Structure 1
């Protein structure tokens, strides 16, 4: 992956992972907090409903106890029971005996909201009732209502001698289900009758129609169990006609919380209500009525604030992602583009192309320093290689001239040998041809001087070539030193990166300390906690960026070290060539000395020929010496030719090495010129 992609991925990881973790943590805390709040609210409402029901029944028990213990009630039951036993209970007698009791009980019932009141004797015969809406027959326990809750509550109260409450039940003749309370009437410890009150449903229904704290859809459901069925005993918020009409079989997947409640269980959790809707419910048991109570709130309504928070968090996360991608792209582009350009130029230089031209690409910080260093290195290499190429051409030309001169000298020596043979053959005619021999020796002397002069020029040319090779060695050393400077600067960059890393670590520690102090400050430190987290995030980003810079600087140091090693090898080759040139110069000096010695011998021969006093023997000996000198000269010239061939091979190798570099039209640029910017070739 490119630096752009890696930096963008790191930016996204560094910025989004904390955001996602924070969002998840906040969402989890919000859900937990909301669940605790909803649970507390539902449990509180459920407990409140149970308390209200207990108070309702307690008050009704108190009311029926007052009625059962009132002297008027006792007197009325005794009078009506006695008249019924004698068979004298006519309508007139009944009205007379009921008159005072009726006036009192009607006011009491109206004040406390009771629907009806019944007085029975101990044998369940009806003595009195305020409204004739139920057919109880001659006796309650053997009449039409013998199998109802009405008869059962009468029997329990008479047997247990205490107030009893029936379950809600529908009765023929009543428009609504009815609830009855029964209380025995005692006289001297003996049951003389039973008072039965029919409780009005209005106040009880008001308890369940109070939806305070349950939102717009929450409600309290009261159920009772009959066999394997669960029966709703009160209207619901979503079904006003649910009382004793809505029934659910035990074990179904609906109203699971209510089923647990009617079985005497208490708890809280998620459940499915009678509408097949998921709800949060608290269920409990109301022992006063033997009812199961379910206080519930729809799940979507309870979690509405959480859903809104999640939507807002998602939008913020999307905006954060877009912003991070944009910033990461900008930062990655500002770092990767100069590095890419530097790598392209370095690759072209490695391939031998030194014609890279500068553009106006700006790069800040260490990337700009890197571009500037590579730009200076390219300029210096272009200038150096240009000079080396020119020097190699000059060396090749000089080597060619030396080879031509040596061949000419070899031919001249060959002529010397031929002249010597002719002189030996003409010894017998020395007397006749002495004048001609003198002239010939003069010509030979002239040729020797010319050979000496040509050898001197060859030695001078080798001296110039030696100077050029020394300059080449110095230039190579200069390149090595400049590459060393680049390596030192890269090391300095490493020091700066290390310092930045330490600063990032310290900043991270400071942000952690600041976060701890902000946590200690509570809600007053929330703003400072956000700032500390942002500082820690920036410190982490700085540490990641410094690691990338350190890696790139190490790669540059590796490349520069390889360049230094190559330049060291090249310097060693140049020094070897200088040594060879020095050897050739020495050999040319020997040739010049030999030629100058021939000049002196030719002078002696000429002088001898002039005086001719030493005779033909001396001439023969002189000619022998001349022949030996010619042979030595031939050997020296052959060695000189070999040295010249070696020089040409060395120069050819040098030219081949530098020929792969292309310096274009800027080979004459002065090293180090134009280093005032950090811009290079920019590719679209």
Structure 2
């Protein structure tokens, strides 16, 4: 089973159980054997001390013998008598025995009948010749320990391990020895084992109850945060976390609630701005449709002006041919004067019509310029709104970075806490995922806003270019109107001159020359008018194309605004 699927409560209880188990293993497998070894060593020290005291007493008697105060037999008798009554340890049942270097038993307080017999033939219940081994160690090493099996004091049926210690008293050839049962040590160890077991069980129950309480105190706030995080991941920002504790979980809950409040404000602003953006794009589309219609009307008017200028140019050619004929014959000039007057009158009417058309073109162009100005203002407002959205997206991006930093800090703290902090790691991971999803949505929104800004800026540039084209059209139409006024004035003078032509035949040749020159100039002016009208038509066609492209751009902006609204509608504020 993977540890990541184990709850925090179970982990804490498992850790407690593991630590108590390790403690028990340490006590039973290491500490108690060490205590047993220590107690056995103390038993050995007691044996050594008893034997050394006995040897000291025997050595005192030996010194008296050497000093001649007592005989050897008396000294040995005193030693045997004194050691026969020697008892030690709490029960006063332990004694000292004596044998010679050949294994002959000299003293045994509890079995006097064995005194004088060969003790090397004695065996313990396992068949070991323990006294023989003692004598051998005493002869070879001077002193040493032997472990053997023997009855527990007076109970012949109770056989237990016993430690014996022997040491040689060389002047007399004696082997002084004694033994201690280690059953007392084992009983003490058993009592310790029972006490430790009961204590460990009580400690385990108490610590388990305490740890369960602490685990519940830790896990419940984490479960609340986890449930709230799931709601946020599903788009519900209406929930908050209420934690009454005063530890780090309360700080985490406060930070989490602050994050929810910030997300509410930001997403509410984005929704409002996207709604305003959609409304602005609809207004812009309506203005563009009106502008396109007006531009198409202007294009039709310029085509009519072009046709009129072509007719005017053809009339000027006719007049020029007439003036050429006048210069060749004055009589022919008189004959054709009436026709010339009629042609000039018609041309004046055409000039008047042309002036009317140019006035209409001027009015339409001015209206188009005003519409473009309004559209330009709307585009700037949309650009400002888009910039506001960009700022808000930047704020959201910064908040997302802070969430990641908070998640990283929580993960670090959880790692420091070890297994007990894995719950914080789960919360940090959930918060990190939420931050990643929020960052992804914000990057999509930022990309949409960036595209929106670029297209709006492109639309503004096209509007400014179109405005300059229309202003140029107005200037050219104004110049054309001025020239038409000049032409009209010249035609009026020409008609007056035709009324007096019969009275001034003498000056017809000069006047014919002047008329021919004037007509040539007029023809050049008409050609310029035709060129200007053609340029106006081309400019208007460009304006129409730009307006259509701007209309397409506004549709794209509307789609992006709708997409922004969809992105924000998944959240419940």
Is the shorter-chain TM-score for this pair beyond 0.5, marking a shared fold? Answer: yes
**Would the aligned equivalents of 2:372 and 2:463 in 1 still touch at CA under 8 Å?**
yes
Q: CA deviation at 1:639?
A: 1.8
2:481 paired residue among 581, 584, 589 = 589
Q: Work out whether 1:212 is the aligned partner of 2:193.
A: yes
1:368 maps to 268
3-state SS in 1 of match to 2:119? coil
The within-5 A match list for 1:260-409 is 330-331=231-232, 334=235, 364-409=264-309
Q: Distance in 2 between matches of 1:433 and 1:193?
A: 184
Q: CA deviation at 1:569?
A: 2.4
Q: CA deviation at 1:581?
A: 0.8
The within-5 A match list for 1:34-113 is 39=26, 45-54=32-41, 56=43, 112=91
3-state SS in 1 of match to 2:530? helix
Q: CA deviation at 1:366?
A: 2.3
**Would the aligned equivalents of 1:403 and 1:641 in 2 still touch at CA under 8 Å?**
no
Q: CA deviation at 1:487?
A: 6.3
1:514 maps to none
2:132 maps to 151
Q: Distance in 2 between matches of 1:652 and 1:397?
A: 11
Q: Work out whether 1:608 is the aligned partner of 2:508.
A: no
Structure 1 residues 659 and 413, CA, compared in 2 at 3 Å: closer, same or farther? closer
2:350 maps to 451
1:259 maps to none
In structure 2, runs of 5+ residues without a counterpart are 58-79, 238-262, 411-420
Q: Distance in 2 between matches of 1:681 and 1:620?
A: 91
Q: Distance in 2 between matches of 1:537 and 1:116?
A: 75
Q: CA deviation at 1:577?
A: 0.5
2:362 maps to 463
**Would the aligned equivalents of 1:417 and 1:627 in 2 still touch at CA under 8 Å?**
no
Structure 1 residues 435 and 677, CA, compared in 2 at 3 Å: closer, same or farther? same
3-state SS in 2 of match to 1:614? helix
Q: CA deviation at 1:142?
A: 7.2
Structure 1 residues 390 and 491, CA, compared in 2 at 3 Å: closer, same or farther? closer
3-state SS in 2 of match to 1:124? coil
Structure 1 residues 119 and 496, CA, compared in 2 at 3 Å: closer, same or farther? closer
Select the structure that is richer in helix: 2
**Would the aligned equivalents of 1:477 and 1:571 in 2 still touch at CA under 8 Å?**
yes
1:658 paired residue among 542, 547, 554 = 547
The within-5 A match list for 1:429-440 is 437-438=337-338, 440=339
Structure 1 residues 26 and 124, CA, compared in 2 at 3 Å: closer, same or farther? closer
1:139 paired residue among 103, 113, 118 = 118
TM-score, structure 2 normalization: 0.58
Q: Distance in 2 between matches of 1:159 and 1:614?
A: 181
3-state SS in 2 of match to 1:212? helix
Structure 1 residues 565 and 162, CA, compared in 2 at 3 Å: closer, same or farther? closer
Structure 1 residues 629 and 378, CA, compared in 2 at 3 Å: closer, same or farther? farther
**Would the aligned equivalents of 1:165 and 1:180 in 2 still touch at CA under 8 Å?**
yes
Q: CA deviation at 1:607?
A: 1.9
Q: Distance in 1 between matches of 2:429 and 2:349?
A: 87
Q: Distance in 2 between matches of 1:679 and 1:506?
A: 24
1:179 paired residue among 141, 152, 162 = 162
In structure 1, runs of 5+ residues without a counterpart are 1-15, 71-100, 218-301, 337-362, 512-528
2:77 maps to none
2:377 maps to 478
Q: CA deviation at 1:547?
A: 8.7
Superposition RMSD on alpha carbons, in Å? 7.0
Q: Distance in 2 between matches of 1:658 and 1:432?
A: 56
Structure 1 residues 546 and 391, CA, compared in 2 at 3 Å: closer, same or farther? closer
TM-score, structure 1 normalization: 0.50
Cα deviations by residue, 1:510-535 (Å, 9 ceiling, x for unpaired): x9xxxxxxxxxxxxxxxxx9xx9999
Higher relative contact order (CA 8 A, sep 6+): 2
1:562 maps to 454
Q: Distance in 2 between matches of 1:486 and 1:38?
A: 72
Structure 1 residues 582 and 534, CA, compared in 2 at 3 Å: closer, same or farther? same
Cα deviations by residue, 1:373-401 (Å, 9 ceiling, x for unpaired): 34433432343344234323322332333
Cα deviations by residue, 1:30-55 (Å, 9 ceiling, x for unpaired): 98898689657866534532443345
3-state SS in 2 of match to 1:179? strand
Q: Distance in 1 between matches of 2:366 and 2:118?
A: 148
Q: Distance in 2 between matches of 1:180 and 1:416?
A: 151
Structure 1 residues 656 and 113, CA, compared in 2 at 3 Å: closer, same or farther? farther
Structure 1 residues 633 and 68, CA, compared in 2 at 3 Å: closer, same or farther? closer
Cα deviations by residue, 1:75-130 (Å, 9 ceiling, x for unpaired): xxxxxxxxxxxxxxxxxxxxxxxxxx9xxx99x99x95979997757753457879
1:633 paired residue among 522, 526, 537 = 522
Q: Distance in 2 between matches of 1:550 and 1:493?
A: 10
